[in-house]
Amino acid sequence: MKKLTLNYKIWIETSDKKGIMGDGKWKILKAIDQQGSLMAATEALGITYRRTWGDLKKIEKMLGFPLLEKTRGGKEGGSTCLTPEGKQLVKAFDHFHHTVDDLMDKEFLKLQDTINALHSSLLEQ
């Protein structure tokens, strides 16, 4: 039997099933915070700037608060950083993800034990 691994995605959505934010946007926000600009973040992640900017603006509209603070370019170039609310959201999603990841890992081990026991019992027959 091949080794099993757990794979899942987390996202939040509205009651009418419109996605707001998930693992991908969380990673984008973290990259913006680390890189200091949306352009650097999108380049690091290999995604398009224009679409990402539009997606983040939609998230802000749906959540009702700004995530990004943008400074126009100039001699030193522009920058995009997270607002205090954006930083708080990333921190909360980090905590949520860590908690869910731990729970999922523990429950997946139980599932693997069951699968292994079933597999073993069939081999013994």
Confidence of residue 110 (pLDDT cuts 50, 70, 90): very high
CA dist 65 and 59 (Å) reads: 9
List alpha helices for 1-125, DSSP H. 23-35, 38-45, 49-63, 84-124
Q: Are 48 and 39 in contact (CB under 8 A)?
A: no
CA dist 12 and 7 (Å) reads: 17
* Domains parsed from the chain with CATH numbers: 19-124 (1.10.10.10)
Q: Please give the backbone phi and psi of residue 74, each rounded to the nearest 5 degrees, phi first.
A: -175, -145
Specify which residues 80 forms β-bridges with.
70
Specify which residues 50 forms β-bridges with.
none
pLDDT (mean) for 24-43: 94
* 0.75 exceeded by pTM: yes
- pLDDT of amino acid 79: 80
> Which pLDDT tens digit goes with each residue over 69-102?
987 766 666 688 999 999 999 999 999 999 999 9
